[in-house]
Amino acid sequence: MAGVSMEKNFAKSMTGRYLFALDILALVAIVSDYALQKKITAELKRGAVINISGQQRMLSQRIAFCSMRLADSRLSGERPAWRRELADAIALMESSLAGLVNGDSTLNLSAQSSPEAQAIYFLPPHLLHEKVQKYLAASKSLCQAPESDLALDNPHLQYISSAAAQLLASLDELVKLYLKESEAGIARVQRLERTVMVITIFVLLMMALFIFRPMVGRIEAYFVERRQAEEEREKLITELRQALANVKTLSGLIPICAYCKKIRDDRGYWNILEDYIARHSEADFTHSFCPECKKKFDDEE
């Protein structure tokens, strides 16, 4: 009973440890999945920011190109098309700037940007937000200018041409910053993945040390005990067989002389009663006189 109780306690202890380890692994999986999803979402938004800021670079050059073609066009029939293309580029750059600064869920842009990005937008030496606003204002003025004012010496065109290079340099700095932040974010995701892997390996190692190792030891001990019990059983069976082989019994009809009391064996020889019984059983004889024979013997003397 004590052995059975110990086995039950051991099984209960191992079950509790195993469930605890599974709970730890489940908790690690849930927390890591939440953290990874959060990091991935942040990286997706950062990727959108990189795309939109890169688009800003392209749009700034597109506006400069359309402005030049609008002012330099010799054919009045071409100018409406250039005005429309310039207006589209201005509107897209303006909405993109608003999304980058204030956030835009439709563009997957976050309203929170890093202090470094805020510095590029609003602090010297870049003052990017102010530069873009002036650039867009000059572009709108040129786009809305009458036909008579469209020429290469137009002051709005002159401003656009001179500001395009500086604006492009500031936009390049912004894109570099976003790329750097994206690389740092990817590095954080990788560190998180490695941390989760280390924690998982640690939990599995603890399971191996405190659950599976004792369990394997217990199983090995169980099989050793079973083997020893089997060996003892076989030994006992062998001893019992040997004991049974040594037991001699008398059974059946025994031919005995009615006068001398000799017994005939299987080979036809007549044997003294004592010798026959001694050979076919474990009995030994001691000789003495019964009361009647003793009296008879005494009378004959």
Give the DSSP letter string of 46-84.
HHHHHHHHHHHHHHHHHHHHHHHHHHH-S-TTTHHHHHH
Could you give the CA distance from residue 45 to residue 71 in angstroms, rounded to a whole number?
A: 38
Indicate the burial class of 80 (C-beta count within 10 angstroms; 0-12, 13-18, 19 or more): exposed
The answer to whether 53 and 178 have CB atoms below 8 angstroms apart is: yes
The answer to whether 132 and 97 have CB atoms below 8 angstroms apart is: yes
* Residues 6+ away with beta carbon under 8 Å from 17: 207, 210, 211
Q: What is the mean pLDDT of the chain?
A: 84
The helix (H) or strand (E) run that includes residue 18 is: helix 2-72
Q: Range with the lowest mean pLDDT among 9-13, 34-38, 231-235? A: 9-13
Could you give the CA distance from residue 176 to residue 202 in angstroms, rounded to a whole number?
A: 39
Span 221-270, pLDDT tens digits: 878 888 888 899 998 898 888 766 655 556 667 788 877 878 888 788 88
* Residues 6+ away with beta carbon under 8 Å from 168: 57, 60, 61
Residues recorded for the chain: 301
pLDDT given for residue 108 in this prediction: 85
Could you give the CA distance from residue 63 to residue 60 in angstroms, rounded to a whole number?
A: 5
Angle between the 128-144 and 155-207 helix axes, to the nearest 10 degrees?
140
Range with top average pLDDT, 7-16, 39-48, 50-59, 221-230: 50-59
Span 201-215, pLDDT tens digits: 888 888 888 877 887
Considering the four listed CATH numbers 1.25.40.10, 1.20.120.1730, 3.40.50.460, 3.40.50.720, the one that applies to the domain covering 10-217 is 1.20.120.1730
Domain chopping of the chain, boundaries? 10-217, 263-300
Check residues 215 and 271 and name the one with the higher pLDDT: 271
Report if pTM > 0.75: no
Span 68-81, pLDDT tens digits: 999 888 766 788 99
The answer to whether 142 and 160 have CB atoms below 8 angstroms apart is: yes
Residue 103 region by backbone torsions, left for phi larger than 0, else alpha for psi between -120 and 50, else beta: left
Q: Categorize the per-residue pLDDT at 273 as very low, low, confident or very high, splitting at 50, 70 and 90.
A: confident
DSSP class of residue 252 equals S
